[in-house]
Chain A
Protein backbone atom coordinates (compact mmCIF):
# COMPACT_ATOMS: atom_id res chain seq x y z
CA UNK A 1 0.00 0.00 0.00
CA UNK A 2 2.80 2.33 1.03
CA UNK A 3 1.09 5.72 1.10
CA UNK A 4 -0.93 5.17 -2.06
CA UNK A 5 -4.70 4.97 -1.77
CA UNK A 6 -7.16 2.83 -3.67
CA UNK A 7 -10.09 4.83 -4.97
CA UNK A 8 -12.89 2.44 -4.02
CA UNK A 9 -11.98 2.32 -0.37
CA UNK A 10 -10.14 5.59 0.04
CA UNK A 11 -12.05 6.64 3.16
CA UNK A 12 -12.28 3.31 4.92
CA UNK A 13 -10.86 3.26 8.46
CA UNK A 14 -10.58 0.71 11.24
CA UNK A 15 -13.03 1.82 13.95
CA UNK A 16 -12.27 2.28 17.66
CA UNK A 17 -8.49 2.58 17.23
CA UNK A 18 -6.96 4.94 19.78
CA UNK A 19 -3.58 6.62 19.59
CA UNK A 20 -1.22 7.33 22.46
CA UNK A 21 0.39 10.66 23.31
CA UNK A 22 3.40 12.14 21.53
CA UNK A 23 5.92 9.39 20.95
CA UNK A 24 8.80 11.06 19.15
CA UNK A 25 12.31 10.24 20.26
CA UNK A 26 13.83 13.13 22.22
CA UNK A 27 17.28 14.72 22.46
CA UNK A 28 17.42 16.58 25.77
CA UNK A 29 19.66 19.62 25.98
CA UNK A 30 20.39 21.83 28.99
CA UNK A 31 21.95 25.28 28.86
CA UNK A 32 23.70 26.32 32.06
CA UNK A 33 24.25 30.06 31.77
CA UNK A 34 26.49 32.07 34.03
CA UNK A 35 24.55 35.30 34.57
CA UNK A 36 26.81 36.90 37.15
CA UNK A 37 27.19 40.67 37.47
CA UNK A 38 30.17 40.68 35.11
CA UNK A 39 27.78 39.82 32.27
CA UNK A 40 26.01 43.19 32.64
CA UNK A 41 25.71 45.40 29.58
CA UNK A 42 26.62 44.20 26.12
CA UNK A 43 27.44 40.56 27.09
CA UNK A 44 23.97 39.82 28.57
CA UNK A 45 22.35 41.67 25.68
CA UNK A 46 24.21 39.49 23.18
CA UNK A 47 23.40 36.37 25.20
CA UNK A 48 19.67 37.20 25.02
CA UNK A 49 19.90 37.88 21.28
CA UNK A 50 21.61 34.52 20.88
CA UNK A 51 18.88 32.73 22.84
CA UNK A 52 16.24 34.28 20.60
CA UNK A 53 18.16 33.11 17.54
CA UNK A 54 18.26 29.61 19.04
CA UNK A 55 14.48 29.65 19.55
CA UNK A 56 13.83 30.76 15.98
CA UNK A 57 16.28 28.33 14.41
CA UNK A 58 15.01 25.31 16.33
CA UNK A 59 11.37 26.11 15.61
CA UNK A 60 12.08 26.34 11.90
CA UNK A 61 13.85 22.99 11.88
CA UNK A 62 11.26 20.26 11.30
CA UNK A 63 13.46 17.57 12.88
CA UNK A 64 14.67 19.51 15.87
CA UNK A 65 11.38 21.20 16.71
CA UNK A 66 9.69 17.93 17.64
CA UNK A 67 12.71 16.00 18.86
CA UNK A 68 14.92 18.38 20.83
CA UNK A 69 13.89 19.31 24.35
CA UNK A 70 15.42 22.26 26.13
CA UNK A 71 15.92 23.39 29.71
CA UNK A 72 17.73 26.57 30.73
CA UNK A 73 19.45 27.04 34.11
CA UNK A 74 20.70 30.38 35.32
CA UNK A 75 23.63 30.68 37.77
CA UNK A 76 23.57 34.06 39.50
CA UNK A 77 23.14 35.96 42.76
CA UNK A 78 24.96 34.95 45.90
CA UNK A 79 24.46 31.23 45.51
CA UNK A 80 21.46 30.75 43.25
CA UNK A 81 20.81 28.15 40.56
CA UNK A 82 17.42 28.70 39.02
CA UNK A 83 15.49 27.10 36.19
CA UNK A 84 14.69 29.87 33.72
CA UNK A 85 12.92 27.60 31.22
CA UNK A 86 11.77 24.10 32.24
CA UNK A 87 11.81 21.08 29.89
CA UNK A 88 9.92 21.86 26.75
CA UNK A 89 9.92 20.61 23.16
CA UNK A 90 11.83 23.02 20.93
CA UNK A 91 8.62 23.82 19.03
CA UNK A 92 7.22 25.32 22.24
CA UNK A 93 10.43 26.91 23.55
CA UNK A 94 10.36 30.60 24.36
CA UNK A 95 13.77 32.13 24.98
CA UNK A 96 13.89 33.43 28.56
CA UNK A 97 15.19 36.94 29.08
CA UNK A 98 18.28 36.68 31.25
CA UNK A 99 19.50 39.35 33.66
CA UNK A 100 22.95 39.66 35.14
CA UNK A 101 23.64 39.95 38.87
CA UNK A 102 25.83 38.58 41.63
CA UNK A 103 28.31 35.73 41.51
CA UNK A 104 28.80 32.49 39.50
CA UNK A 105 27.53 29.45 41.44
CA UNK A 106 28.31 27.17 38.51
CA UNK A 107 28.85 24.05 40.60
CA UNK A 108 25.37 24.29 42.06
CA UNK A 109 23.86 24.96 38.63
CA UNK A 110 25.61 21.93 37.12
CA UNK A 111 24.43 19.64 39.92
CA UNK A 112 20.90 20.88 39.25
CA UNK A 113 21.40 20.12 35.55
CA UNK A 114 22.46 16.53 36.32
CA UNK A 115 19.44 16.13 38.58
CA UNK A 116 17.04 17.46 35.92
CA UNK A 117 18.52 15.05 33.38
CA UNK A 118 17.98 12.06 35.68
CA UNK A 119 14.39 13.16 36.33
CA UNK A 120 13.70 13.60 32.64
CA UNK A 121 15.21 10.23 31.77
CA UNK A 122 12.88 8.60 34.34
CA UNK A 123 9.96 10.44 32.75
CA UNK A 124 10.94 9.25 29.27
CA UNK A 125 11.22 5.67 30.52
CA UNK A 126 7.86 5.79 32.27
CA UNK A 127 6.24 7.17 29.12
CA UNK A 128 7.97 4.71 26.82
CA UNK A 129 9.75 7.52 24.98
CA UNK A 130 13.21 6.75 23.68
CA UNK A 131 15.90 9.40 23.96
CA UNK A 132 19.37 10.27 22.80
CA UNK A 133 22.19 10.95 25.27
CA UNK A 134 21.55 14.36 26.89
CA UNK A 135 23.77 17.36 26.31
CA UNK A 136 24.73 20.06 28.80
CA UNK A 137 26.26 23.32 27.60
CA UNK A 138 27.96 25.36 30.28
CA UNK A 139 28.63 28.97 29.28
CA UNK A 140 30.55 31.32 31.54
CA UNK A 141 32.47 34.56 31.41
CA UNK A 142 34.34 33.83 34.63
CA UNK A 143 34.83 30.93 37.00
CA UNK A 144 32.82 29.06 39.63
CA UNK A 145 32.49 30.93 42.88
CA UNK A 146 30.40 28.56 44.97
CA UNK A 147 31.67 26.43 47.82
CA UNK A 148 32.14 22.81 46.77
CA UNK A 149 32.18 23.46 43.03
CA UNK A 150 35.05 21.02 42.60
CA UNK A 151 32.94 18.14 43.95
CA UNK A 152 30.19 19.20 41.55
CA UNK A 153 32.71 19.19 38.69
CA UNK A 154 33.83 15.68 39.68
CA UNK A 155 30.20 14.53 39.55
CA UNK A 156 29.90 15.97 36.06
CA UNK A 157 33.00 14.16 34.83
CA UNK A 158 31.78 10.93 36.43
CA UNK A 159 28.38 11.24 34.73
CA UNK A 160 30.14 11.82 31.43
CA UNK A 161 32.45 8.87 32.01
CA UNK A 162 29.41 6.70 32.68
CA UNK A 163 27.94 7.91 29.37
CA UNK A 164 24.95 9.48 31.07
CA UNK A 165 25.54 12.88 29.51
CA UNK A 166 27.77 14.86 27.15
CA UNK A 167 29.07 18.13 28.62
CA UNK A 168 30.52 21.02 26.65
CA UNK A 169 32.07 24.02 28.42
CA UNK A 170 32.36 27.35 26.65
CA UNK A 171 34.06 30.43 28.06
CA UNK A 172 33.84 33.99 26.85
CA UNK A 173 36.74 36.42 26.99
CA UNK A 174 38.13 36.49 30.52
CA UNK A 175 36.69 33.11 31.51
CA UNK A 176 38.94 30.79 33.47
CA UNK A 177 39.06 27.88 31.04
CA UNK A 178 41.28 25.88 33.36
CA UNK A 179 38.52 25.74 35.96
CA UNK A 180 35.71 25.27 33.43
CA UNK A 181 37.67 22.31 32.03
CA UNK A 182 37.08 20.47 35.30
CA UNK A 183 33.38 20.09 34.45
CA UNK A 184 33.92 18.15 31.24
CA UNK A 185 36.05 15.37 29.81
CA UNK A 186 36.42 17.50 26.69
CA UNK A 187 38.51 20.63 26.32
CA UNK A 188 36.55 23.85 26.84
CA UNK A 189 36.14 26.22 23.92
CA UNK A 190 36.66 29.97 23.89
CA UNK A 191 33.92 32.14 22.42
CA UNK A 192 35.28 34.68 20.02
CA UNK A 193 34.22 38.17 21.13
CA UNK A 194 30.52 38.15 21.97
CA UNK A 195 29.46 35.81 19.21
CA UNK A 196 26.61 34.30 21.21
CA UNK A 197 24.28 34.31 18.20
CA UNK A 198 26.79 32.39 16.08
CA UNK A 199 27.30 29.98 18.96
CA UNK A 200 23.58 29.32 19.47
CA UNK A 201 23.01 28.85 15.74
CA UNK A 202 25.81 26.29 15.78
CA UNK A 203 24.20 24.66 18.82
CA UNK A 204 20.86 24.46 17.03
CA UNK A 205 22.41 22.82 13.97
CA UNK A 206 24.38 20.42 16.13
CA UNK A 207 21.51 19.21 18.31
CA UNK A 208 19.35 18.88 15.22
CA UNK A 209 22.04 16.74 13.65
CA UNK A 210 22.39 14.61 16.79
CA UNK A 211 18.62 14.16 17.05
CA UNK A 212 18.63 12.63 13.56
CA UNK A 213 21.89 10.70 13.88
CA UNK A 214 22.08 6.97 13.33
CA UNK A 215 22.33 5.00 16.52
CA UNK A 216 25.79 4.02 17.69
CA UNK A 217 27.44 6.57 15.43
CA UNK A 218 29.85 9.13 16.93
CA UNK A 219 28.49 12.65 17.41
CA UNK A 220 29.39 14.68 14.35
CA UNK A 221 29.23 18.35 15.26
CA UNK A 222 28.94 21.27 12.94
CA UNK A 223 32.03 23.37 12.22
CA UNK A 224 32.75 25.66 15.19
CA UNK A 225 34.77 28.15 13.20
CA UNK A 226 32.00 30.77 13.25
CA UNK A 227 32.24 31.40 17.00
CA UNK A 228 35.35 29.67 18.31
CA UNK A 229 38.57 31.51 19.05
CA UNK A 230 41.52 29.27 18.23
CA UNK A 231 44.35 30.89 20.22
CA UNK A 232 43.56 30.62 23.87
Chain B
Protein backbone atom coordinates (compact mmCIF):
# COMPACT_ATOMS: atom_id res chain seq x y z
CA UNK B 1 0.00 0.00 0.00
CA UNK B 2 2.87 2.44 0.74
CA UNK B 3 3.52 3.63 -2.81
CA UNK B 4 4.73 7.21 -2.60
CA UNK B 5 4.46 9.25 -5.78
CA UNK B 6 7.17 11.71 -6.80
CA UNK B 7 4.89 14.64 -6.09
CA UNK B 8 4.17 13.83 -2.47
CA UNK B 9 6.89 13.08 0.08
CA UNK B 10 6.08 11.59 3.47
CA UNK B 11 8.41 11.52 6.46
CA UNK B 12 7.12 9.93 9.65
CA UNK B 13 8.35 8.52 12.91
CA UNK B 14 6.94 6.99 16.05
CA UNK B 15 8.93 7.04 19.25
CA UNK B 16 8.25 4.93 22.30
CA UNK B 17 7.64 7.16 25.33
CA UNK B 18 9.91 6.93 28.33
CA UNK B 19 7.04 5.51 30.40
CA UNK B 20 6.72 2.53 28.09
CA UNK B 21 10.48 2.12 27.82
CA UNK B 22 10.81 1.99 31.59
CA UNK B 23 8.17 -0.72 31.79
CA UNK B 24 9.45 -2.50 28.72
CA UNK B 25 6.07 -2.18 27.05
CA UNK B 26 5.57 -1.34 23.37
CA UNK B 27 4.67 1.96 21.78
CA UNK B 28 0.87 2.25 21.58
CA UNK B 29 0.88 4.71 18.68
CA UNK B 30 0.55 3.79 15.05
CA UNK B 31 0.65 5.60 11.73
CA UNK B 32 -0.13 4.53 8.19
CA UNK B 33 -0.31 6.31 4.89
CA UNK B 34 -0.72 5.75 1.17
CA UNK B 35 -0.21 7.84 -1.93
CA UNK B 36 -1.85 7.29 -5.26
CA UNK B 37 -0.73 9.76 -7.92
CA UNK B 38 -1.16 13.16 -6.31
CA UNK B 39 -3.54 11.94 -3.68
CA UNK B 40 -2.50 11.32 -0.07
CA UNK B 41 -4.28 9.54 2.76
CA UNK B 42 -2.57 9.41 6.16
CA UNK B 43 -3.75 8.56 9.67
CA UNK B 44 -2.07 8.57 13.09
CA UNK B 45 -3.60 6.99 16.16
CA UNK B 46 -2.78 6.82 19.85
CA UNK B 47 -3.74 3.59 21.59
CA UNK B 48 -5.19 4.58 24.98
CA UNK B 49 -2.70 4.42 27.86
CA UNK B 50 -3.40 1.19 29.65
CA UNK B 51 -6.29 -0.01 27.48
CA UNK B 52 -5.33 -3.64 27.20
CA UNK B 53 -5.15 -3.70 23.41
CA UNK B 54 -4.83 0.00 22.58
CA UNK B 55 -1.99 -0.71 20.19
CA UNK B 56 -4.15 -3.12 18.19
CA UNK B 57 -6.98 -0.59 18.15
CA UNK B 58 -4.60 2.08 16.83
CA UNK B 59 -3.30 -0.18 14.04
CA UNK B 60 -6.82 -1.28 13.13
CA UNK B 61 -8.18 2.22 12.62
CA UNK B 62 -5.14 3.47 10.69
CA UNK B 63 -5.09 0.60 8.23
CA UNK B 64 -8.84 0.46 7.73
CA UNK B 65 -9.18 4.19 7.07
CA UNK B 66 -6.22 4.40 4.72
CA UNK B 67 -7.16 1.31 2.72
CA UNK B 68 -10.74 2.47 2.29
CA UNK B 69 -10.09 6.17 1.68
CA UNK B 70 -7.33 5.83 -0.89
CA UNK B 71 -9.97 4.77 -3.42
CA UNK B 72 -12.56 7.34 -2.36
CA UNK B 73 -13.18 10.64 -4.16
CA UNK B 74 -12.73 13.71 -1.96
CA UNK B 75 -16.40 14.60 -2.15
CA UNK B 76 -17.31 11.31 -0.46
CA UNK B 77 -14.73 11.44 2.32
CA UNK B 78 -17.04 12.34 5.20
CA UNK B 79 -19.47 9.53 4.50
CA UNK B 80 -16.65 7.06 3.84
CA UNK B 81 -14.78 7.91 7.05
CA UNK B 82 -17.92 7.03 9.01
CA UNK B 83 -18.25 3.80 7.09
CA UNK B 84 -14.59 2.89 7.67
CA UNK B 85 -14.85 3.58 11.41
CA UNK B 86 -17.93 1.33 11.55
CA UNK B 87 -15.88 -1.30 9.72
CA UNK B 88 -12.98 -1.03 12.18
CA UNK B 89 -15.37 -1.30 15.11
CA UNK B 90 -17.01 -4.40 13.63
CA UNK B 91 -13.58 -5.96 13.18
CA UNK B 92 -12.83 -5.32 16.85
CA UNK B 93 -16.09 -6.97 17.89
CA UNK B 94 -15.03 -10.20 16.19
CA UNK B 95 -11.33 -9.84 17.07
CA UNK B 96 -9.88 -12.96 18.71
CA UNK B 97 -8.86 -10.93 21.77
CA UNK B 98 -12.42 -9.69 22.28
CA UNK B 99 -13.46 -12.67 24.36
CA UNK B 100 -17.10 -11.73 24.78
CA UNK B 101 -17.43 -10.62 21.14
CA UNK B 102 -19.37 -7.65 22.49
CA UNK B 103 -19.41 -4.03 21.45
CA UNK B 104 -18.78 -3.06 25.08
CA UNK B 105 -15.46 -4.90 25.11
CA UNK B 106 -14.02 -2.96 22.18
CA UNK B 107 -13.22 -0.27 24.79
CA UNK B 108 -10.21 -2.48 25.52
CA UNK B 109 -8.95 -1.43 22.08
CA UNK B 110 -9.51 2.30 22.66
CA UNK B 111 -7.57 4.66 20.45
CA UNK B 112 -7.82 8.20 19.13
CA UNK B 113 -7.48 9.05 15.46
CA UNK B 114 -6.51 12.01 13.34
CA UNK B 115 -6.13 11.68 9.61
CA UNK B 116 -6.13 13.56 6.34
CA UNK B 117 -7.12 13.11 2.73
CA UNK B 118 -5.53 15.56 0.29
CA UNK B 119 -5.94 15.75 -3.45
CA UNK B 120 -5.18 18.57 -5.88
CA UNK B 121 -5.14 21.55 -3.51
CA UNK B 122 -8.12 20.37 -1.48
CA UNK B 123 -8.30 18.18 1.53
CA UNK B 124 -10.00 17.35 4.78
CA UNK B 125 -8.89 16.36 8.26
CA UNK B 126 -10.98 13.81 10.17
CA UNK B 127 -10.48 13.57 13.88
CA UNK B 128 -11.67 11.88 17.10
CA UNK B 129 -10.07 12.81 20.44
CA UNK B 130 -6.67 14.36 21.01
CA UNK B 131 -3.67 14.61 18.69
CA UNK B 132 -3.67 17.27 15.96
CA UNK B 133 -3.59 17.92 12.26
CA UNK B 134 -1.93 20.97 10.70
CA UNK B 135 -1.96 22.12 7.08
CA UNK B 136 0.48 24.94 6.30
CA UNK B 137 0.57 27.20 3.28
CA UNK B 138 3.28 29.80 2.73
CA UNK B 139 2.11 33.06 1.20
CA UNK B 140 4.71 35.82 0.70
CA UNK B 141 7.00 34.33 3.37
CA UNK B 142 4.13 34.21 5.86
CA UNK B 143 2.69 30.93 7.08
CA UNK B 144 -1.04 30.47 6.79
CA UNK B 145 -2.40 27.34 8.43
CA UNK B 146 -5.47 25.22 9.04
CA UNK B 147 -5.66 23.36 12.31
CA UNK B 148 -7.56 20.31 13.50
CA UNK B 149 -7.33 20.78 17.26
CA UNK B 150 -7.23 18.14 20.00
CA UNK B 151 -10.55 17.58 21.80
CA UNK B 152 -11.01 16.17 25.28
CA UNK B 153 -13.77 16.17 27.84
CA UNK B 154 -13.27 18.17 31.02
CA UNK B 155 -10.62 15.67 32.03
CA UNK B 156 -8.43 13.50 29.88
CA UNK B 157 -10.06 10.45 31.43
CA UNK B 158 -13.10 11.61 29.51
CA UNK B 159 -11.39 11.88 26.15
CA UNK B 160 -12.82 10.53 22.93
CA UNK B 161 -12.11 7.31 21.06
CA UNK B 162 -13.53 5.66 17.99
CA UNK B 163 -14.37 2.70 20.20
CA UNK B 164 -16.88 4.72 22.24
CA UNK B 165 -20.58 4.19 21.70
CA UNK B 166 -21.13 7.86 20.89
CA UNK B 167 -18.10 8.16 18.59
CA UNK B 168 -20.15 9.85 15.86
CA UNK B 169 -20.77 12.81 18.19
CA UNK B 170 -17.01 13.21 18.58
CA UNK B 171 -16.04 12.90 14.91
CA UNK B 172 -14.92 16.23 13.43
CA UNK B 173 -14.02 17.28 9.91
CA UNK B 174 -11.92 20.31 8.95
CA UNK B 175 -11.59 21.36 5.33
CA UNK B 176 -8.24 22.34 3.84
CA UNK B 177 -7.78 24.67 0.91
CA UNK B 178 -4.31 24.73 -0.61
CA UNK B 179 -1.43 23.46 1.50
CA UNK B 180 2.31 23.09 1.02
CA UNK B 181 2.72 20.62 3.85
CA UNK B 182 0.56 18.54 6.16
CA UNK B 183 1.35 17.40 9.69
CA UNK B 184 -0.32 14.77 11.83
CA UNK B 185 0.71 14.11 15.42
CA UNK B 186 -0.37 12.28 18.57
CA UNK B 187 -0.72 13.95 21.96
CA UNK B 188 2.92 13.24 22.82
CA UNK B 189 3.80 16.06 20.43
CA UNK B 190 0.84 18.47 20.44
CA UNK B 191 2.09 20.40 23.46
CA UNK B 192 5.28 21.19 21.58
CA UNK B 193 3.50 22.23 18.39
CA UNK B 194 0.45 24.12 19.64
CA UNK B 195 -0.13 27.09 21.90
CA UNK B 196 -1.45 26.65 25.43
CA UNK B 197 -5.06 27.05 24.32
CA UNK B 198 -4.37 24.62 21.45
CA UNK B 199 -5.68 27.20 18.97
CA UNK B 200 -2.44 28.43 17.39
CA UNK B 201 0.92 27.13 16.24
CA UNK B 202 3.81 27.74 18.58
CA UNK B 203 6.82 29.40 17.10
CA UNK B 204 9.92 27.30 16.92
CA UNK B 205 8.45 23.89 16.24
CA UNK B 206 6.36 23.28 13.11
CA UNK B 207 8.14 25.97 11.11
CA UNK B 208 11.74 24.76 11.50
CA UNK B 209 10.70 21.15 11.02
CA UNK B 210 8.84 22.07 7.83
CA UNK B 211 11.75 24.11 6.49
CA UNK B 212 14.20 21.32 7.17
CA UNK B 213 12.09 18.53 5.69
CA UNK B 214 11.17 20.58 2.62
CA UNK B 215 14.87 21.14 1.97
CA UNK B 216 16.17 17.66 2.83
CA UNK B 217 15.85 15.43 -0.21
CA UNK B 218 17.51 12.41 1.38
CA UNK B 219 14.61 10.54 2.96
CA UNK B 220 16.73 8.39 5.24
CA UNK B 221 18.56 11.41 6.62
CA UNK B 222 15.27 13.30 7.06
CA UNK B 223 13.71 10.45 9.05
CA UNK B 224 16.75 10.13 11.31
CA UNK B 225 16.82 13.88 11.91
CA UNK B 226 13.12 13.94 12.81
CA UNK B 227 13.51 10.94 15.07
CA UNK B 228 16.58 12.36 16.82
CA UNK B 229 14.93 15.73 17.31
CA UNK B 230 11.77 14.31 18.89
CA UNK B 231 13.70 11.79 20.97
CA UNK B 232 16.07 14.15 22.75
CA UNK B 233 16.49 13.86 26.50
CA UNK B 234 14.67 17.15 26.91
CA UNK B 235 11.69 16.08 24.79
CA UNK B 236 11.44 12.77 26.67
CA UNK B 237 11.56 14.52 30.01
CA UNK B 238 8.98 17.13 29.06
CA UNK B 239 6.53 14.58 27.72
CA UNK B 240 6.88 10.91 28.57
CA UNK B 241 4.10 9.78 26.19
CA UNK B 242 4.65 7.99 22.91
CA UNK B 243 5.31 10.47 20.10
CA UNK B 244 4.15 10.00 16.55
CA UNK B 245 4.71 12.66 13.93
CA UNK B 246 3.98 12.55 10.22
CA UNK B 247 4.93 15.22 7.68
CA UNK B 248 3.84 15.29 4.06
CA UNK B 249 5.42 17.68 1.56
CA UNK B 250 2.90 18.37 -1.22
- Write the nearest CB–CB distance from A5 to chain B, whole angstroms: 7
Please tell me if A25 contacts chain B, counting CB pairs below 8 Å: yes
* Residues of chain A lying within 8 A (CB to CB) of residue B107: 214, 216-217
Which A residues from 159 to 177 make CB contacts under 8 A with B? Answer: 163-164
Q: Is A213 an interface residue (CB 8 A)?
A: yes
Q: How far does the alpha carbon of A213 sit from the alpha carbon of B158 in the complex, in Å?
A: 11
**Interchain CB contact under 8 A, B224 and A10:** yes
**Interface stretch among B64-72, B93-101, B197-205?**
B197-205
Complex interface: chain A residues within 8 A of B226 (CB)? 1, 14
- A164: chain B residues at CB < 8 Å are 154
Could you say which interface size class chain A belongs to? 35 or more
Separation of A25 and B243 alpha carbons in the complex (Å):
14
B139: Cβ under 8 A from any A Cβ: no
Of B54, B159, B225, B238, the contact of A9 (CB 8 Å cutoff): B225
Pairwise interchain contact A18-B205, C-beta atoms closer than 8 A: yes
Interface extent on B, as a size class? Answer: 35 or more
List, in ascending order, chain B residues with CB within 8 A of A11's CB: 228
Within 8 A of A (CB), among B179-209: 187, 190-192, 194-198, 202-205, 208-209
**Complex contact A12–B221 (CB within 8 A):** yes
> Is the pair A17, B158 in contact by a Cβ cutoff of 8 Å?
no
The answer to the question of B227 belonging to the interface, with a C-beta cut-off of 8 Å to chain A, is yes
Q: Which of B202-232 contact A (CB under 8 A)?
A: 202-205, 208-209, 212-213, 220-221, 223-229, 231-232
Task: Assess whether A14 is in contact with B225, with CB atoms less than 8 Å apart.
Answer: yes
Interface residues of A in 1-56 (CB under 8 A from B): 1-3, 5-6, 8-25
- Looking at the assembled complex, report how far the CB atom of B62 sits from the nearest CB atom of chain A, in whole angstroms: 15
- Assuming the A-B contacts A1-B227, A133-B155, A215-B110, are A128 and B161 also in contact, with contact meaning beta carbons closer than 8 angstroms in the complex? no
**A94 on interface, CB distance cutoff 8 Å:** no
Residue numbers in A under 8 Å from B110 (CB-CB): 214-216
Residues of A within 8 A of B240 (CB): 24, 66
Give A192-228 interface residues, CB cut-off 8 Å to B. Answer: 212-217
Q: Is the CB of B235 within 8 A of A19?
A: yes
Contacts of A62 in B (CB 8 A): 19, 22-23
Q: Is B4 an interface residue (CB 8 A)?
A: no
User: A2 CA to B55 CA in the complex, in Å?
Assistant: 14
B229 x A215 contact (CB < 8 A): no
- Neighbouring A residues of B36 by C-beta, 8 Å: none
B140 is an interface residue with CB less than 8 A from chain A = no
| A63 located at the interface, meaning its Cβ lies under 8 Å from any Cβ of chain B in the complex | yes
Residues in B whose Cβ lies below 8 Å from that of A126:
196-197
Chain B CB within 8 A of A155 CB = no
Interface residues, chain A, CB within 8 Å of chain B? 1-3, 5-6, 8-25, 62-63, 66, 121, 126-133, 163-164, 212-217
9 cross-chain pairs, A with B, having the tightest CB-CB distances, nearest first: A18-B204, A23-B191, A130-B156, A214-B51, A16-B208, A9-B224, A23-B239, A1-B227, A14-B229
Name 5 A/B residue pairs within 8 A (Cβ), A-sorted: A11-B228, A14-B209, A14-B226, A19-B238, A22-B237
